[in-house]
Amino acid sequence: MEYPLVLRFRTALVTAVITGTVLATAPAHAHPPSGIDIDRRDRHQSIDGFGYSIAFQRASLVHKLSEAKRAEALDLLLDRRTGAAPSILRLGIGSSATEPYDLMLSIQPTDPGGPTAPPNYVWNGWDGGQVWFSKEAQKRGIGRFYADAWSAPGYMKDNGSDSNGGSLCGLQGVTCESGDWREAYARYLVQYTKFYRQEGIKIDELGFTNEPDWTAPYASMRFTPAQAAEFMKVIGPIAKRARVGVACCDSFGWTQSDAYAQAIEADPEARRHLAVFTGHGYASPSNRPLPTTAKTWMAEWAPSSVADGWNEAWDSGKGTDGIAVAERIHDTLALANSSAFIFWLGSSRGGTAALMQVDDANDAYRVSSRLWAFAAYSRFIRPGAVRVGVGSEIEGVKVSAYRNADGSEVVEILNTGTTEVATSVDMKRATAYLTDATHNLTKAPELVSKRGPHTRLTLPPRSLTTLVTNHPGRG
């Protein structure tokens, strides 16, 4: 079943998918307003990539499939040419003393005898299937890994449990009989990255908190904005010596991230140690820039599956539809200026909103249209791309444009309306891919035709059209 506690307790707070039309001022050379104009001189954020989480033993579900089914599922989840094509994987750092399904095992499950005692780390080389899945990702060219902790082990916290919130002993306002665990927790997290390094996997970003403003009955731990800035100064130097960037703060909602961003920005030392600022999209959607000078990532979001159950539809009117996810990706990139979009789960069981449903007991899997919505962006907008300006005044159409490091261009066009749209885009030659109720990121040459320096374009109703230049450097 889908990670039940997270979704069950979040349902009331998850917001509806944003609707609306992007309006942008067309550049001076624009042709009639019915067209789509790219302003290649108007450069916005760089793109680090797209990804999803494999935490809470979800990777192990794929491993439990038969060899043939496992290979198929891995290609769908990881392959750049035929699958979801992620460029980032988000790993979960465990805090539990045991490892039943839905929990993540700590690398130090028992108290070593206090914060200054020699640590007694243990490593099984499996980590809930995450090591295996990461190696499979590497085989397919995926090389960026973000590891995040939901909680410290219970003996490091004032509530004595890795669940139900609680705070790290030693933070301002948190006093524990066992002493100050701040530095020990920082070293614990960095040791996790060292274990991965010995497996041949380099963790690039390390997060010490997940939804620090949300108390949950599963692994969770509270940080105030001031405490997060305080801990940045503890973990920062330790992570730097290990050549790992520090990410913060994965707040429960995008707007709720403001206070954490402001606290770190107000502390020059804390800001100096911040590599990436991260936020989630549950309590409020990722639809505007955050108040930070750091690069920002939307590090977790998925629509709630509590009411919808498992839904494969592209456009059935549910929040878990593929078109709804495509719209959230658009808003995250084009309105929030995020450099990454990281979906919640790649795979899970039961009534899940993951990209893939795995029925390991019956050696089967199913794919949702959410995977193809995700792949429409991730497959073509590659790490190192830059979002560029685009102008359009077409009602119900959302557009964003990107230039990859190799010079190729990608234009993503989401027609949220119920009627077909005829328009043009100032690209000399482009290949069109269509994602809608009957197409899963399928080549669609019938949608485009060349006319002078522009490409004429037909946008089917309720669809996502992805245009990709055929030759690098030729817009």
pLDDT tens-digit readout, 375-408: 999 999 999 999 999 998 899 999 999 999 999 9
Q: Which residue has the higher pLDDT, 393 or 198?
A: 198
Model confidence pLDDT, tens digit, residues 440-461: 999 999 999 987 778 899 999 9
Model confidence pLDDT, tens digit, residues 159-168: 999 999 999 9
The domain made up of 37-42+388-469 has a fold known as Immunoglobulin-like (2.60.40)
Distance, CA of 23 to CA of 202 (rounded, Å): 41
Residue 133 near residue 62, CB atoms below 8 Å: yes
Q: Which long-range contacts (CB under 8 A, 24 or more apart) does 258-263 make?
A: 258/290, 258/291, 259/225, 260/212, 260/225, 260/228, 261/290, 261/291, 261/292, 261/294, 262/225, 262/291, 263/225, 263/226, 263/228, 263/229
Instruction: Kindly report, as residue ranges, where domains of CATH 3.20.20.80 are found in the chain.
Output: 4-16+49-385
345, 341, 314, 319: which is closest to 330 by C-alpha? 341
**Percentage of the chain with pLDDT > 70?**
91
CA dihedral 129, 130, 135, 136 (to 10 degrees): 70
- Is the pLDDT at 235 greater than 80, yes or no? yes
243: CB partners within 8 A, 6+ apart: none
Model confidence pLDDT, tens digit, residues 345-385: 999 999 999 999 999 999 999 999 999 999 999 999 999 99
Mean pLDDT rounded to a whole number for the chain? 92
CATH number given to 4-16+49-385: 3.20.20.80
Q: How far apart are the first and last CA of the chain?
A: 46
- In 3-state terms the chain splits into helix, strand, coil percentages (rounded to 5) of 25, 25, 50
Model confidence pLDDT, tens digit, residues 123-147: 999 999 999 999 999 999 999 999 9
Instruction: Kindly report, as residue ranges, where domains of CATH 2.60.40.1180 are found in the chain.
Output: 37-42+388-469
* Mean per-residue pLDDT, 43-64: 98
Residue 162 tokens read as 């890795």
Residue 143 tokens read as 């090389």
Q: What's the confidence (pLDDT) of residue 408?
A: 96
Q: What's the confidence (pLDDT) of residue 23?
A: 36
Strands (E), 339-420: 340-345, 347-348, 356-359, 364-367, 386-391, 397-403, 409-415
Model confidence pLDDT, tens digit, residues 3-42: 444 433 343 333 333 333 333 333 333 334 369 999 999 9
